[in-house]
Amino acid sequence: MKVILSHKIELKPNNEQETFLKQSCGVSRFGYNLALDVWNKEYDAGNKPSAFSVKKLVNAMKKEVAPWSYNVSKCCIEESIIDLGRAFNNFFKVSNTRHPTFKKKGIKDSFRLNNESFKFVGDSHLQIAKLKSPIRICESLRFKGKILSCTISRQADKWFASVNLELDWNSEQYQQQEPSCVGVDLGVKSLAVLSDGAVFEGLKPHKAALKKLRKLNKDLARKVKGSHNWHKCKLRLAKCHARIANIRKDYLHKLTTHLVKNFSIICIEDLNVKGMSKNHCLARSILDGGFGMFKSLLEYKCKLYNVILIKADRFFPSTKNCSSCSEVHDMPLSKREMNCKCGLKIDRDVNAAINLKNYGLKAVGSPA
What's the pLDDT tens digit per position in 249-279?
A: 999 999 999 999 989 899 998 888 888 888 8
Query: How open is the CA angle 156-161-165, to the nearest 5 degrees?
Result: 150
- What pLDDT, in 10s, does the model give residues 211-249? 999 999 999 999 999 999 999 999 999 999 999 999 999
Of 129-143, 154-168, 288-302, 317-331, which gets the smallest average pLDDT?
317-331
Instruction: Read off the pLDDT band of 367 (50, 70, 90).
Output: low
Of 145-149, 170-174, 185-189, 228-232, which gets the smallest average pLDDT?
170-174
Q: How far apart are CA 168 and CA 2, in angstroms?
A: 5
- What pLDDT, in 10s, does the model give residues 38-63? 999 999 998 899 999 999 999 999 88
Domains of the chain, first to last: 2-168 (no CATH), 174-364 (3.30.420)
Q: Is 89 helix (H, G, I), strand (E, B) or coil?
A: helix
Contact 244, 287 (CB under 8 A): no
Q: How far, rounded to the nearest angstrom, does the alpha carbon of residue 298 sit from its chain's CA centroid? A: 12
Question: How many residues appear in the chain?
Answer: 368
